[in-house]
Amino acid sequence: MRTSQPSACLSRLRKRRAMSTWSGARIRELTRHITPSAGLMWFALLAALIGVAFAAADRYGTNLEGSATPGVLMYVASPATKETRVTLRRQADRILIIDDFTHTIVAGGRADRIKRVIVRGVDGDHNDTLTVDFSGRLCLPGGIDFDGGTAGFDTLRIVGGSGTDSRHIPTNRSDGVVEVGATEIRYRNLEPVLDTIAGPLTINVAAGVGGTLQDNGSGRAQFVFTGNAFESLTFANKSSLTINIAGSATVTLAASVWADLTVAVTVNGTGSGNTLLVDLTGATSPSLPVTNTSGNLSGAWTFGNRPNLTFSGIQSLNPASLSVSKTGPSSVPLGSNISYTITVNNAGPNSAAGVTVTDPIPPNTTLVSATPSQGSCSGTATVNCSLGLIGSGGSATIALVLSVNSGAVTNTAAVMAATTDTNANNSSTSSAAVNISAVCTPVVTPVPALSTWSLVVFAALLAGYGVISRRRATG
In a domain, 39, yes or no: yes
In a domain, 464, yes or no: no
In a domain, 470, yes or no: no
Mean pLDDT of 278-305: 93
Asked whether residue 313 carries a pLDDT value surpassing 60, the answer given is yes
DSSP for residue 400: E
The pLDDT > 70 percentage for the chain reads: 75
The pLDDT value given to residue 62 = 44
In a domain, 191, yes or no: yes
Asked whether residue 29 carries a pLDDT value surpassing 80, the answer given is no
Question: How many domains, the chain?
Answer: 3
Asked whether residue 84 carries a pLDDT value surpassing 50, the answer given is yes
Q: Do 264 and 372 lie in a common domain?
A: no
The pLDDT value given to residue 316 = 94
Q: Do 373 and 233 lie in a common domain?
A: no
The pLDDT value given to residue 174 = 86
The pLDDT > 90 percentage for the chain reads: 57
In a domain, 302, yes or no: yes
Q: In angstroms, what CA-CA distances link 111 with 94, 137, 181, 259, 270?
A: 5, 11, 17, 41, 40
Asked whether residue 8 carries a pLDDT value surpassing 50, the answer given is no
3-state class percentages of the chain: helix first, strand second, coil last, to nearest 5: 15, 45, 35
Asked whether residue 21 carries a pLDDT value surpassing 50, the answer given is no
DSSP for residue 474: H
> Which of 273, 289, 320 is the C-terminal boundary of a domain?
320
The pLDDT value given to residue 42 = 56
The pLDDT value given to residue 363 = 86
In a domain, 457, yes or no: no
Q: Do 42 and 24 lie in a common domain?
A: yes
User: The CATH number of the domain where 418 resides is what?
Assistant: 2.60.40.1530
Higher pLDDT, 405 or 425: 405
Q: Do 248 and 107 lie in a common domain?
A: yes
User: 224-245, pLDDT tens digit by residue?
Assistant: 988 655 578 999 999 999 999 9
User: 435-462, pLDDT tens digit by residue?
Assistant: 666 544 555 556 566 677 677 676 777 7
Q: Do 264 and 181 lie in a common domain?
A: yes
The pLDDT value given to residue 432 = 63
In a domain, 462, yes or no: no
Q: Do 284 and 345 lie in a common domain?
A: no
Asked whether residue 341 carries a pLDDT value surpassing 50, the answer given is yes
Domain interval for residue 369: 323-437
Mean pLDDT of 98-113: 96
> Which of 273, 303, 320 is the C-terminal boundary of a domain?
320
Q: Do 124 and 209 lie in a common domain?
A: yes
Higher pLDDT, 356 or 468: 356
Mean pLDDT of 282-290: 91
The pLDDT value given to residue 2 = 38
Q: Do 413 and 311 lie in a common domain?
A: no
Phi, psi of 465 (to 5 degrees): -65, -35
Q: Do 261 and 236 lie in a common domain?
A: yes
Name the CA dihedral angle for 378, 381, 382, 385, rounded to a multiple of 10 degrees: 20
Q: Do 312 and 327 lie in a common domain?
A: no
Residues in CB range of 227: below 8 A, 6 or more apart: 208, 209, 210, 249
Q: Do 311 and 338 lie in a common domain?
A: no
Return the minimum-mean-pLDDT range out of 127-136, 301-310, 460-469.
460-469
Q: Do 269 and 385 lie in a common domain?
A: no
DSSP for residue 162: B
In a domain, 461, yes or no: no
Mean residue pLDDT across the chain: 83
Q: How confident is the model at residue 28 (pLDDT cuts 50, 70, 90)?
A: low
User: 342-360, pLDDT tens digit by residue?
Assistant: 999 999 999 999 999 999 9
The answer to whether 393 and 347 have CB atoms below 8 angstroms apart is yes
Asked whether residue 11 carries a pLDDT value surpassing 80, the answer given is no
